[in-house]
Amino acid sequence: MPSAFQSRSHRLAVSWFRIKEVADQIFAIEEPGHVQSYLVNGDRRSALIDTGLGLAPLHPVVDELAQPEIVVLNTHWHFDHVMGNPAFETIAIAGEERRLIQRAIDNATLRRIYIDACLVSGPPLPPGFDPQCCRFPGSVAARPLADGDTIDLGGRTLIALATPGHTRGSMSFLDTRTGALACGDLVYAGTLYAHFTDSDTEAYRQSLEALLDRAGDIRQILPGHNRYPLTTDWLGKAHQVFTALREGPSAAETTSAWGAPVRRHHGDQLDLLTPVPGSAGIDLAARLWPERTRSVQ
Ligand SMILES: [Zn+2]
């Protein structure tokens, strides 16, 4: 019989997450308006690609769908993709981003950089959510991921592909059974972020080019934000913006993100943010852990 805590967690989880099977035994687990994670079930074990914001307990919904053995694969270190990690035992992320997910994020910081804005103007938070309780204790990734690593789930394999650009260690995961590519924040319908200090627009362009080169293996895109799944032509749309950026002055405007000036470039159904010329960009690590003298650099 479930304890009072378990049943409350279960009710909260069921009422908060939106779940949809997007391909054969691949489930999108959406925190509506925020972010989505993806559960890929093999015959022996399951992979959970990202764990979202951790605003409601993810374990109850995952347990209902997954194999008993679960490996978490993080696409990158940003808090909106990893805060559900602590509920899971086995976590993997690109080697260079392991130390970043080990750092705790306190309640005051999370409120300042994310939660307070949601309370004022949305997107919505879970019913009964207590903003005072939201914090991230950090999580340990026992397994460092590298380009070309394979994750055998039994009857299907995920290939880890290094797709740097949004962050230095960003990874995408290609399911060999369905051709679904879970790509984190590499491509989605909306405004792409390459304006952080650990973003790299040329690496971003090359990551997209490498995926276009293997377009025959990819049949759909599972993005970390906004609508999903996306058709594979979104790789080309994103590549076009980065190519235009490299080839010369583009029709960009200066705008503001996170209280700092950035350049906004317009593409076909998506935009791109880059640092203003002469600036290194927004140092997200310094904003999350201002007391540290060393940043993500
Ligand atoms: Zn991100």
Q: pLDDT tens digits, residue range 210-266?
A: 999 999 999 999 999 999 999 999 999 999 999 999 987 667 899 998 888 999 999
Domains of the chain, first to last = 4-288 (3.60.15.10)
**Separation of CA 155 and ligand 1 centre (Å):** 30
**Separation of CA 3 and ligand 1 centre (Å):** 36
Residue 269 has pLDDT above 90, yes or no: yes
DSSP 8-state code for residue 246: H
**Separation of CA 76 and ligand 1 centre (Å):** 7
The protein residues having their C-beta less than 5 angstroms from ligand 1 (an ion) are 78, 185
* Alpha helices in the chain, H assignment, sequence order: 4-16, 59-65, 79-82, 98-102, 107-110, 116-121, 201-213, 233-247, 284-288
Give yes or no for a cis peptide into 229 (omega within 30° of 0). Answer: yes
Q: How many Cα atoms sit within 13 Å of 144 on the Cβ side?
A: 8
Beta strands per DSSP E along the chain: 18-23, 26-31, 35-41, 46-49, 70-73, 90-94, 143-145, 150-152, 157-162, 171-175, 180-184, 191-193, 220-223, 252-257, 260-266, 271-275
Q: Are 205 and 240 in contact (CB under 8 A)?
A: no
Could you tell me what percent of the chain has a pLDDT over 90? 87
pLDDT of residue 218: 98
Confidence of residue 2 (pLDDT cuts 50, 70, 90): very low
**Separation of CA 34 and ligand 1 centre (Å):** 12
**Separation of CA 167 and ligand 1 centre (Å):** 7
**Separation of CA 36 and ligand 1 centre (Å):** 12
Q: Are 71 and 152 in contact (CB under 8 A)?
A: no
Model pTM score: 0.94
**Separation of CA 11 and ligand 1 centre (Å):** 29
pLDDT of residue 295: 47
**Separation of CA 2 and ligand 1 centre (Å):** 35
pLDDT of residue 12: 66
> Which H or E run contains 257?
strand 252-257
Q: Which two tokens stand for residue 50?
A: 């990202």
**Separation of CA 189 and ligand 1 centre (Å):** 14
Residue 127: what are its φ and ψ, rounded to 5°? -60, 130
**Separation of CA 154 and ligand 1 centre (Å):** 29
**Separation of CA 138 and ligand 1 centre (Å):** 17
**Separation of CA 134 and ligand 1 centre (Å):** 19
The rounded distance, in Å, linking the Cα atoms of 215 and 211 is: 6
The rounded distance, in Å, linking the Cα atoms of 131 and 180 is: 35
